[in-house]
Structure 1
C-alpha cells in the first residue's frame, strides 16, 4: 500500500489487506497519546482511530506533540 505521510510517499507492507489508523501509527513507531492525525485533510478524533480504515493513496499528516517552555 502506498501512502503519503508527512509529505513523503511511503510503501507500507501489511499481512492484512487494510490498515486501521491505530495499528498504522503503532507500525510506524508513533506513540498514540502524543500525536494528532490528519487524514485526507480532516483531523481524526483519537476515539475514532480504531474504526478508521486506511486505504491505498491516503494522505496523512502526523504531528507529534512536544512539551516545553521556559522557567523563570
Structure 2
C-alpha cells in the first residue's frame, strides 16, 4: 500500500488490503494522545480512528502536539 504521509510517499506492507487509522498510527509509532490527523483534507476525530479505513493512495498529515514555552 502506498500512502502520502506528511508530504512523503511511503510504502506500507500489510497482509490485508486496508488499515484502520488507529492501527496505522500505531504501526508508524505515533502516540495517539499526542497527534492530530488529517486524512485527504479532513481532520478526523480520534473517536473515529478505529472505524476510519485507510486505502492505497490516501494522503495523511499527522501533526504531533509538543508542549513547551518559557517560564518568566
In structure 2, C-alpha distance between the alignment counterparts of 1:9 and 1:17, rounded to whole Å: 17
Normalising by structure 2, what TM-score?
0.98
Instruction: Give 5+ residue unaligned stretches, structure 2.
Output: none
Instruction: Give the C-alpha shift of residue 30 in structure 1.
Output: 0.3
Instruction: Give the C-alpha shift of residue 17 in structure 1.
Output: 1.7
Instruction: Give the C-alpha shift of residue 54 in structure 1.
Output: 0.2
3-state SS of 1:10 partner: strand
Normalising by structure 1, what TM-score?
0.98
The equivalent of 1:31 in structure 2 is: 31
Q: Contact 2:22/2:50 (CA < 8 Å) preserved in 1?
A: yes
3-state SS of 2:67 partner: coil
The equivalent of 2:65 in structure 1 is: 65
In structure 2, C-alpha distance between the alignment counterparts of 1:12 and 1:52, rounded to whole Å: 17
In structure 1, C-alpha distance between the alignment counterparts of 2:17 and 2:38, rounded to whole Å: 22
The runs of 4+ residues in structure 1 deviating greater than 4 Å are: none
Instruction: Give 5+ residue unaligned stretches, structure 1.
Output: none
Report the aligned-residue RMSD.
Answer: 0.5
